[in-house]
Copies of this chain bind each other. A is one copy, B any other.
Amino acid sequence: MRLFNKVAIVGTGLIGGSLALFIKKNKLAGEVVGVARHKASLAQAIKMKAIDRGSLSLDIIKGADLIILATPVDSIIALRKEILKNAGKDCVVTDVGSTKEKIVSLLGKDFKNYIGSHPLAGSEKRGIENASQDIFKDSLCILTPTKKASKKALGKIKSLWLKTGSRVVILSPEVHDKALSFTSHLPHIAAFSLINSVPLNFLKLSSGGLKDTTRVALSSPLLWQAIFLTNRNDLLSALAVFEKNLRMIKSAIKNNDRKTLTRILSQAQKKRSILE
């Protein structure tokens, strides 16, 4: 069932490319066009049948009734005025960025029907070559609509994500950013700091534990510095909580306090078991 006439994906990487593939495979749009910074990405996206046409210029998004912004979060913000120039007045606009408050407050002013999206899918991998139409299946997608966005626009975006197999939750950008500072941004900070703490010559004396705990440190530095910096205040608060918890364990170890240590670890084990 066709949901849109022309969908424009700005940023045909892992997430943008995967969503493009899904839309094309399921014929949800009459046409899918893509914008990227490199010709090779566009050629690959066309080869994989993720988009019908591509361009290095934003001109190509003209006439779209859905624009999906899938670049790093700082680029979404930087590109907004140029996108506005090329976007139709009634066009529905969404993004797939990992932080929402800054993006939605700025782009919500520019666009009549702005609905933030954050699909909690993908991995530390990047690029259209890792894209797949299935990555959203059974994952969570958080929507953060602006107040002025029409019900019809929200309905269409929600319908698109539900079709991908995502569960959809609607939150305010503020609650989204606070929650994700704990459940996503803080774990990335921990992983980056953890691997940086391990002396190089000890790396070979490790097992699955270190690998699991630091897997997300393989993520793109450019993507993640922007995520951290667009969610600064929430992230600094989450970091303070983490540091407090570290100090509690440290003090129990320092004082040989087996009882407190066991209580802290048991609490953690119990909480972690909720996750799966």
Contact = CB atoms under 8 A, between A and B. Distances in A.
Contact of A236 (B186, B192, B220, B250): B250
- How many chain copies does the complex carry? 2
Interface stretch (A6-14, A32-40, A238-246): A238-246
A56 interface: no
Interface in A115-138: 120-121, 123
A178 B205 CA distance: 11
Nearest to A121: B207
Interface string A206-248: 1111111111111111101100110010011011011111101
A143 to B, nearest CB: 12
Contacts of A142: 205
B187 A249 contact: no
A139 interface: yes
A159 interface: no
A210 B213 CA distance: 9
Contacts of A248: 193
Given A225-B258, A242-B197, A258-B225, A189 B249 contact: yes
Interface stretch (A19-27, A102-110, A146-154, A265-273): A265-273
B206 A183 contact: yes
Given A139-B207, A190-B213, A213-B216, A195 B249 contact: no
A200 interface: yes
A215 B217 contact: no
Contacts of A189: 246, 249
A173 to B, nearest CB: 13
A275 interface: yes
Interface residues of A, number: 85
B209 A188 contact: yes
A195 B271 contact: yes
B213 A213 contact: yes
Nearest to A208: B123
A192 to B, nearest CB: 4
A180 interface: yes
A43 interface: no
Nearest to A220: B269
A169 interface: yes
13 contacts: A123-B208, A140-B205, A186-B198, A187-B194, A187-B214, A196-B245, A200-B274, A211-B276, A217-B268, A217-B271, A217-B272, A229-B258, A242-B246
